[in-house]
Chains A and B, each alone.
Chain A
Amino acid sequence: MAQAGVQHSMTLRTDAWWVAPLVTFVMLSAFVVYTTWRIIENQYYLAEPYLSPLYSPLLLLDWWPLSPAILILWAPGGFRLTCYYYRKAYYRSFVLSPPACAVDRGKPGEYCGETRFPLILQNLHRYFFYAAGVVLVFLWYDAFKAFVFDEKFGVGVGSIVLLLNAALLTMYSLSCHSFRHMIGGKLNVFSKCPTRFMLWKAVSGFNEHHMFWAWFSLIVVSLTDLYVRLVASGAIQDVRFI
């Protein structure tokens, strides 16, 4: 279809519209580079009783020659990759589709969004939600284990870090759009299902801050791994409170 609207340059915006996509690009790239390096490194992930979230659950299998992190990270990785928030973030900052609002990049007709392979697979986000949910159970188990030192209760910086990590990842999952749909959003008549209505309202409240949970949990998961790495490699000593 020929576009008959008034044509002008890519944008008439005069503000610094490029800052937000640039910051997102740098932050997400830093995360991807760091995690990839840590997966390849394949060591310093355990500093008893702390286990890095990138390696949890720890699957050390004879037949698997590569890093055990690969066996599990597809789940939380796929969860984030197909997350509605991150989709917005990387479509804007990596694919520049669009780089910012009212900044036109691309040509008329040349766009099919999420209608074709591979992006049509974004529709499977809910399955990654289930898979990441399983991993999350292990992360909670690790967080509780991080309070047990030689079979006695104790608290170290690592215990708190691992607990915070599990809590933030839980908030990230509970604020997921697919979860909001499953829990009650798919209903049209709430009055017949008061419990689901109540849960939907609670999840909708979390969901309003999904972007916040997405970033906060992403940063903390990296810092948790970094902390475990520093302790495991002997670069620092864990500080014990109890």
Chain B
Amino acid sequence: MAEATIMVFRGEAHQGGEEKEYTVPVQEGMVVLDALLYIQANYAGDLAVRWNCKAAKCGSCSAEINGKLGLTCKMRMDSLPLEEPVRVYPMKTFPLIKDLVTDVSWNYEIEKRIPPFAPPEGELTMYQEDIDRIQEFRKCIECFLCQNICHVLRTHDRKDSFFGPRYMIKIAELQMHPLDTVDRTELLNGDGGMGFCNITKCCTEVCPENIQITDNAIIPLKERVADRFFDPLLWILRKLAGK
């Protein structure tokens, strides 16, 4: 049976860590998570790996495999060059807890800062064509791969200034909702840090749900921010209309 060498990052919070080498038999249809669970079962019972569904739907098993970001339960071993060791690392952008598990709680703190859906009082009617567009954003499984790959958060660590792509689609979903009554444009231009995104599209490239984060959420939101804050003609028209 074919074998693969897997180099797994092993380490604890604040203590650093190092790669450890394991040999794993490769079977047909095997995914990286299978290899990690094999290591856990046969060599390292204390290997920390987060996973739940093994069906690319819970968003728990995000990691960096040979430097590429993905769900370990979706990335097939036969898609990797197995003549070389496969290197598996935790997400770089978030603080390490142990081995492949990181602390993603910063994301939940960001979510709390976004005003929730606020429909008007009374009977509510909405049409399919009005919500088709935002249904794409509801496919998000909160794997945080987009947050992890976004260079604003990953390389420049501007978590103090930018909510990140996952929350841009969250805001788009609310802001484009036909029945929502709250305006989040000011939040986007201020604390949300819309201007920090330079639309280089890594979030879209990495999203396992194929959400067109940049084209369908971020750029349309940037245009809405431009309408409000950067378009002198619209500003004059708004003044003339007394808005």
Contacts and interface: CB of A to CB of B under 8 A. Distances in A.
Interface of A: 1-8, 11-15, 84, 87-88, 91-92, 97-98, 101-102, 104-115, 119-120, 123-126, 177-178, 180-181, 185-186, 188-191, 197, 207-208
Contacts of B160: 1
Contacts of A109: 156-158
B92 A6 contact: yes
Contacts of B41: none
Q: Kindly state the interface size class of chain B when it binds its partner.
A: 35 or more
B96 A126 contact: no
B195 A97 contact: no
A202 B9 CA distance: 48
Name the residue in A101, A106, A178 with the highest tally of chain B Cβ atoms < 10 Å from its Cβ.
A101
Contacts of A207: 215
Given A108-B155, A111-B158, A189-B130, A88 B89 contact: no
Contact of B96 (A4, A91, A119): A4
B64 A12 contact: yes
Interface stretch (B30-38, B43-51, B226-234): B226-234
B76 interface: no
Interface in B148-162: 149, 151-152, 154-160, 162
Contacts of A114: 195-198
Contacts of B149: 101-102
A123 B226 contact: yes
Given A108-B157, A113-B152, A178-B223, A14 B67 contact: yes
Contacts of A97: 151, 198, 200
A5 B102 contact: yes
6 contacts: A1-B160, A2-B157, A11-B67, A101-B149, A105-B155, A180-B220
A178 to B, nearest CB: 6
B92 A5 contact: yes
Interface of B: 9, 11, 13-14, 17, 64, 66-69, 81, 84, 87, 89-96, 102, 127, 129-130, 149, 151-152, 154-160, 162, 175-178, 180, 193, 195-202, 205-206, 215, 219-220, 222-227, 229-231
A131 B12 CA distance: 57
Contact of A191 (B13, B91, B94, B127): B127
B155 A98 contact: yes
B130 A190 contact: yes
A197 B200 contact: no
Of the candidates A113, A120, A208, the one having the most CB atoms from chain B within 10 angstroms of its own CB is A113
A115 to B, nearest CB: 4
Contacts of B102: 5
Contacts of A180: 220
B120 to A, nearest CB: 12
A92 B162 CA distance: 20
A4 B220 CA distance: 33
Contacts of B152: 111, 113
B9 A6 contact: yes
Contacts of B127: 190-191
A173 to B, nearest CB: 16
Enumerate the 5 nearest inter-chain pairs by beta-carbon distance, A residue then B residue, closest first.
A12-B67, A13-B67, A4-B95, A115-B195, A123-B230
A25 to B, nearest CB: 15
A126 B157 contact: no
B157 A188 contact: no
B17 to A, nearest CB: 7
